[in-house]
């Protein structure tokens, strides 16, 4: 049968889609092999910033020598990047013979089989209708990580933040039916998955397209009660749609629904928030955070922040620094603004020069590292349950997991401890992770 390799770039949604494509191909008898032996290499790519796209462009170039010798491998470009620049990629590189956007994931397995028996055609699964969606109905059984899985609960996004490509590449917002999600979670739990992260660009708008009022907090409750999944996490929350019932449900199932929330702020300036089309003010953001911290003491609160968005003045930027000081997030995904063709802000004349963007990025990162180190140092001496789910990226004999509040913890443990819930005493802290010692099991 055919041999494939899969490379995934970008966010957890792309990981989930990649896992599903892999599962579908393996179930049809395809085998996953190292890239050098593959008939088809699938690049499931991201378009969120220029840097993300450049990674795929530069990887594409590397197939030239083997293509010259063997006319292999065929390269399939999928994911958000395919919808954005897949046609360009196919016209630049003859080995790109398959392009399928994220709204056509259901076309991938058959499409790749047609590609293998074709004679020289290039296959395009793209269309200009942002409502079109062809799902791949299969649970992600073949994953990189045995213990953890992602499950997308809603596709697309209708928010059109000024800087963001996602609504253009992933199309209109559609919630998946609750039964479908809960069944998928059950199936994964039966196969030994211990932790599931529910994914949506804006989980709080889950269900707003249903007629019966079933909401994200209903889904969280049913997932905690009915699926047998040991730990449930979710991303991303949107301040404009966040509702207190989500926090109530988290508080009602504290051992299953992890007390961790990613609530992107994007800017600390009301002027910028309006320009970004975020539809909340700093004051509204502040009252949400207050509500969360009151109801869930010990919650992990993370955020996303963009610096150097067009029209961001030094005063606006100062507001973002003050917001970091005020909210003291556990972690912030910071990024310098990257213009995305076709989005609103990319067309504005008042772009911030690159050097200023980089200087602002350094400054927020420096401040946030200091805050994170202070917060993490305060956790030394505490004990918490941790699912050991992977090898540490560096360091022999170390495994890693996450605290309920979503902080990475490294512990000394052998491979046989993978997949175990243990009780960990936190013994050390850095700005990006904790280290700890296993006290016993916590199953």
Q: Report the interface residues with ligand SAH, using CB under 6 A.
A: 48-49, 163-164, 166, 201-202, 236, 238, 264, 266, 304, 306, 335, 337-338, 340
Q: Which does 14 bind (CB under 5 to 8 A by kind): ligand SF4, ligand SAH, ligand F3S, none?
A: ligand F3S
Question: Does 85 interact with ligand F3S (rule: CB under 6 A)?
Answer: no
153 binds ligand F3S (CB under 6 A): no
* Terminal alpha carbon distance of the chain: 42
**Shortest separation between residue 167's beta carbon and ligand SF4, angstroms:** 5
Applying CB under 6 A, which of residues 2, 4, 10, 410 lies at the interface with ligand F3S? 10
User: Which are the contacts of 300, defined by CB distance < 8 A and separation ≥ 6?
Assistant: 258, 259, 260, 261, 330, 331, 403, 404, 405, 406, 407
Q: Total residues at the site for ligand F3S (CB under 6 A)?
A: 13
167 binds, among ligand F3S, ligand SF4, ligand SAH, none (CB under 5 to 8 A by kind): ligand SF4
Contacted by 46, from ligand SAH, ligand SF4, ligand F3S, none: CB < 5 to 8 Å by type:
ligand F3S
Residue 47 binds ligand SF4 (CB under 6 A): no
Contact between 302 and 264 under an 8 Å Cβ cutoff? The reply is: no
Largest CA distance in the chain: 64
What are the structure tokens assigned to 164, written together?
A: 């963001």
Distance of CA 305 to the CA centre of its chain: 15
User: Which one of 41, 60, 85, 166 is in contact with ligand F3S (CB under 6 A)?
Assistant: 166
Nearer to ligand F3S, 89 or 299 (CB): 89
Establish if 164 lies at the interface with ligand SF4 (CB under 6 A): yes
* Least distance to ligand SAH, CB of residue 318, Å: 19
In contact, 265 and 289? CB cutoff 8 Å? no
Interaction mask 23-62, ligand F3S, x per CB under 6 A? -----------------------xxx--------------
H helix runs in 160-281, sequence order: 166-170, 178-190, 216-226, 244-252, 270-275
236 vs 269, which CB is nearer to ligand SAH? 236
The partner in contact with residue 306, picked from ligand SF4, ligand F3S, ligand SAH, none with C-beta cut-offs of 5 to 8 angstroms by kind, is ligand SAH
Using alpha carbons, list the distances in angstroms from residue 132 to 101, 233, 409: 11, 29, 42
Reduce the DSSP state of residue 114 to 3 states and report it.
Answer: helix
Q: Is residue 305 classed as helix, strand or coil in its secondary structure?
A: strand
Strands (E), 278-430: 300-307, 331-336, 383-391, 398-402, 408-412, 421-429
Phi, psi of 398 (to 5 degrees): -110, 135
Binding site for ligand SF4 (CB under 6 A): 157, 159-161, 164, 166-167, 201-202, 238
Binding site for ligand F3S (CB under 6 A): 10-11, 13-14, 46-48, 79-80, 165-166, 169-170
């Amino acid at each position: 049968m055919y041999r494939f390799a899969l490379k995934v770039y970008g966010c957890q949604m792309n990981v989930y889609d990649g896992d599903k494509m892999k599962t579908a191909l393996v179930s049809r008898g395809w085998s996953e092999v190292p890239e050098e032996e593959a008939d088809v290499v699938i690049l499931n790519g991201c378009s969120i910033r220029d840097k993300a796209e450049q990674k795929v462009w530069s990887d594409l170039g590397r197939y030239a020598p083997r293509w010259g010798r063997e006319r292999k491998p065929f390269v399939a470009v999928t994911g958000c990047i395919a919808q954005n620049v897949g046609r360009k990629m196919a016209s630049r590189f003859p080995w790109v013979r398959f392009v399928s956007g994220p709204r056509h994931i259901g076309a991938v397995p058959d499409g790749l089989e047609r590609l293998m028996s074709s004679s020289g055609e290039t296959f395009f699964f793209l269309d200009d209708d942002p409502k079109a969606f062809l799902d791949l109905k299969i649970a992600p059984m073949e994953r990189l990580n045995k213990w953890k899985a992602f499950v997308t609960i809603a596709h697309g996004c209708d928010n059109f933040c000024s800087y963001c490509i996602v609504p253009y590449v992933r199309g209109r917002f559609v919630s998946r039916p609750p039964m479908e999600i809960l069944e998928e979670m059950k199936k994964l739990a039966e196969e030994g998955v211990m932790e599931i992260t529910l994914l949506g660009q804006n989980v709080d708008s889950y269900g707003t397209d249903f007629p019966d009022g079933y909401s994200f907090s209903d889904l969280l409750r049913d997932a905690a009660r009915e699926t047998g999944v040991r730990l449930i996490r979710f991303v991303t929350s949107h301040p404009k749609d966040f509702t207190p019932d989500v926090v109530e449900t988290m508080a009602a199932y504290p051992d299953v629904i992890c007390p961790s929330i990613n609530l992107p702020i994007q800017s600390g300036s009301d002027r910028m928030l309006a320009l970004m089309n975020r539809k909340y003010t700093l004051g509204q953001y502040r009252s949400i955070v207050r509500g969360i911290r009151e109801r869930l003491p010990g919650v992990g609160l993370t955020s996303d922040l963009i610096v150097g968005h067009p029209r961001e003045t030094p005063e606006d930027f100062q507001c973002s620094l003050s917001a970091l000081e005020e909210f003291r997030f556990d972690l912030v995904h910071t990024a310098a603004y990257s213009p995305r063709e076709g989005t609103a802000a990319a067309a504005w004349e008042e772009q911030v020069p690159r050097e200023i963007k980089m200087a602002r990025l350094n400054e927020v990162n420096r401040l946030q590292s200091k805050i994170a180190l202070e917060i993490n140092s305060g956790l030394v001496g505490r004990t918490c349950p941790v699912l050991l789910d992977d090898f540490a990226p560096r360091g022999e004999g170390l495994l890693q997991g996450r605290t309920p509040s979503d902080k990475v913890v490294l512990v000394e443990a052998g491979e046989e401890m993978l997949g175990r819930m243990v009780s960990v005493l936190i013994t050390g802290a850095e700005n990006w992770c904790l280290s700890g010692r296993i006290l016993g099991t916590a199953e």
